[in-house]
Amino acid sequence: MALNYSDKVMDHFANPRNVGEIENPDGVGEAGNPKCGDIMKIYLKVNDETKIIEDVKFKTFGCASAIASSSMATELIKGRTIQEAWDLTNSAVAEALDGLPPIKMHCSVLAEEAIHEALNDYRAKHGMDIIPVEHHEE
């Protein structure tokens, strides 16, 4: 059975935004799903004074939904503060994509988790407390 993807998912899959790596990033995070084997890596450039994410890139070895989720998530956190980025949930990412098929919701979780890991990497390097990362299925 073919899954129904929204135009936004198809667009972000076909033309993903912010693909790549940042040299000397201020934070790097990785998340993977052991069931499907997909992996997502997020790189952040953060302004130390304003705590605003000035640049963000991703590398995703995964399915179409994972790539679309990374692309959308990077768009949503660019120009935001590290606190605003922390508050981005996987359901907000899926909503911004006009929805994901239910069995593909876990793909958006990778984006939330990879961003959390990258933010914690930044926090650790700047003497800030690490926030526990919640691992959840959806």
Indicate if the alpha-carbon torsion angle 68, 73, 99, 6 is positive or negative.
negative
Residue 26 CA to residue 41 CA, distance in Å, equals 14
Q: Which residue is nearest to ligand FES (CB)?
A: 36
CB of 34 to ligand FES, least distance (A): 10
Nearer to ligand FES, 63 or 115 (CB): 63
Q: Which residues are catalytic?
A: 36, 107
119 lies in the site for ligand FES, by CB under 6 A: no
Q: How far is the CB of 97 from ligand FES (least distance, A)?
A: 13
Q: Which stretch binds ligand FES (CB under 6 A): 11-19, 23-31, 57-65, 128-136?
A: 57-65
The neighbouring-strand residues paired with 42 are: 29, 58
Distances (CA, A) of 10 to 62, 88, 90, 108: 15, 21, 18, 15
Residue 109, amino acid: V
Check if the beta carbon of residue 136 is closer than 8 Å to that of residue 113.
no
Contact pick of 44, 107, 115, 119 for ligand FES (by CB under 6 A): 107
- CB of residue 60 vs ligand FES: minimum separation in angstroms? 8
Note whether 65 binds ligand FES by CB under 6 A. yes
